[in-house]
Structure 1
Amino acid sequence: MEESKLAVIEPSPRKASREFRRQQLIDATIATLARVGFSRTTLTEVAATAGLSHGLIIFHFQTKEKLLAETLQYMAREYRDNWVGALATCRQTPAARMEALIRADIDDTISAPERMAAWSALWAEAQSRPIYQENCAEFDLEYLHAMEKLCAELTEEGGYPSLPEHTARAIRVTLNGMWFDLMTMTGPYSRQESLGTMFNMLTAFYPRHFDHHGAIECGQRAAS
């Protein structure tokens, strides 16, 4: 009997074009936020950045609020997928996973100047608005729980005296500060030095698990 074959359903050109245009407008919104900030980001400014008509933005997103909400959700999911992927592909020990989480935060794509400037614009204006809580609260909590879980595992494994919740908060605050330090196009120091700074801080909390270069396990560099 001849083996049956499943038909491959290709997306229609209209649907593919719609998804492409929406992504193009989201990318243009990120670039506009980075260049002019939250309050000066208008549909007209985004259209000019994208090289598309104002009417096309209205067709796809209707309002500035909806465009910003979808842009914020896109960036939050991009950030989330990056660190989740890093944890899934590294060596599955607490120290190696913590190193992967730190490296994911200073990844070249995630911490690119334009991305960081766009995040800064959104944080400065949107934290007190429903747009941020509606689109980012779930992602923030997931990240916080992952960080606290790793801190708890490291504390238990090493018999350290620190409180995992407080350590997780200190790490997050330091990472956020590192992002702001890297915000300028030139930057006060390199990403490699940023990693070294983070690992240096971790040696204070987990001296038997980290040195200035990253995770150490049983005297050997942790494989990521």
Structure 2
Amino acid sequence: MNQVEGNVAAQPSPRKLSRQARREQLIEATIEIIAQRGYARTTLTDVARHAGLSHGLVNFHFETKEGLFSETLSYLAEEYRRNWTAALEATGPEPSQRLDAILRADFNPEICTPSRLGAWCAFWGEAQSRPLYQEQCGSNDQEYTRVLEEICGELLAETGQTGDRVRIARVLRMTTEGAWFDLMTMSDPYSMEEALSTSFICAAAFFPGKFTSQGAVVEA
């Protein structure tokens, strides 16, 4: 096989590209509608209308509302996982650099948008969605928590401080999640920069000298 043939073979067919693009279009519309109307009040008709597509096309791709919501949650969860893992891969090896990166990742403007925050809050807040959330996001949550606990343990060892890495990681996670909730629910929310600064202040409380309200301290 020559190089041209190999390149052609490696490319998805136009039909597959079109199908995937259409599914993502519908998922993005679902995120917007859930953020506006909430989990329970969102219908396939709402999604189709927002996407500018027919109700039948939504049924063709997802069959049921539950199927669409399941795909939407998986889409958001995978997007979130890629975001924080990419941030860690792009930063330095020091634990303070890694904690800085993972905290900043939560406030990346590409994932920290009003519609995505609204959709996450809807999935968290609806009791009926909880089994769905645990089934599809549980392993991602566990991976994130494990890495955060690992970083906190490394910082404790580096600074010679005593502390419980599990509880410190939990407080840091609760701080970022609380900031997300504030950004979504407050009538006059503070800025995303302030939300990130709040997370860094939390890190500085546990690791003084390693963090300020602006992030990890850069040592000369």
TM-score class, shorter: over 0.9
In the alignment, which residue of structure 2 is the partner of 1:150? 151
Q: TM-score, with normalisation over the residues of structure 1?
A: 0.91
Report the residue type matching 2:207 in the other structure. Answer: Y
Q: CA deviation at 1:5?
A: 2.2
2: CA distance between counterparts of 1:166 and 1:81? Answer: 25
Find the residue that maps to 2:73 and give its secondary structure: helix
Residue matched to 1:86 = 87
Pair 79,15 (structure 1): closer, same or farther in 2 beyond 3 Å: same
Shift in alpha-carbon separation, 1:107–1:50, aligned structure 2, 3 A: same
Give the conservation status (yes or no) of the 8 Å contact 1:95–1:217. no
- Alignment match, 2:19: 18
* Number of corresponding residues: 217
How many angstroms apart in 2 are the aligned matches of 1:135 and 1:70? 10
TM-score normalized by the length of structure 2: 0.93
Give the unaligned 5+ runs of structure 2: none
Q: Could you tell me whether the CA contact under 8 Å between 2:152 and 2:168 is conserved in 1?
A: yes
Alignment partner of 1:146: what SS?
helix
Distance in 2 between the 1:22 and 1:46 partners?
A: 12
Q: Following TM superposition, by how much is the alpha carbon of 1:186 offset from its aligned partner in structure 2, in angstroms?
A: 7.4
Superposition RMSD on alpha carbons, in Å? 1.8
Q: Which amino acid aligns with 1:72?
A: L
1:181 aligned partner: 182
Say if 1:28 and 1:50, in contact at 8 Å, map to a contact too.
yes
Unpaired runs of at least 5, structure 1: none
The CA deviation at 1:184 is 5.0
Deviation at 1:212, TM superposition (A): 2.0
Q: Is the CA contact (8 Å cut-off) linking 1:167 and 1:205 kept in structure 2? A: yes
- Give runs of aligned pairs for residues 19-168 of structure 1, distance below 5 A: 19-125=20-126, 129-168=130-169
Question: 1:137 is matched by which residue type in structure 2?
Answer: G
Give the letter for the 1:5 counterpart: Q
Indicate how the Cα distance of structure 1 residues 138 and 37 shifts in structure 2: closer, same or farther if over 3 A, else same. Answer: same
The question of whether the paired residues in 2 share the 8 Å contact of 1:158 and 1:208 is answered with no
Moved more, 113-122 or 4-13: 4-13
* Partner SS for 2:147: helix
Higher helix share: 2
Note the C-alpha offset of 1:214: 1.1
Local SS of the residue matching 2:126: helix
How far apart in 1 are the matches of 2:181 and 2:188? 9
Partner of 1:195: 196
**Kept after mapping to 1: 8 A contact 2:204/2:212:** yes
Alignment-mate amino acid for residue 183 of structure 1: M
Superposed displacement of residue 208, structure 1? 2.3
Shift in Å, 1:128: 5.6
Structure 2 distance, partners of 1:187, 1:92, is: 38
Q: Which amino acid aligns with 2:109?
A: D
On the 8 A contact 1:106/1:191 being kept in 2, the answer is yes
Task: Measure, in 1, the Cα distance between the counterparts of 2:196 and 2:103.
Answer: 8
Deviates more, 1:123-132 or 1:208-217: 123-132
- Tell me the distance in 2 between the aligned counterparts of 1:44 and 1:144: 37
Q: Distance in 1 between matches of 2:193 and 2:13?
A: 44
Q: Residue 129 of structure 1: CA displacement?
A: 3.4
1:217 Cα offset (Å): 4.5
Contact in 2 for aligned 1:113/1:185 (Cα 8 Å): no
Amino acid aligned to 2:3: K
1:215 shift after superposition: 0.8
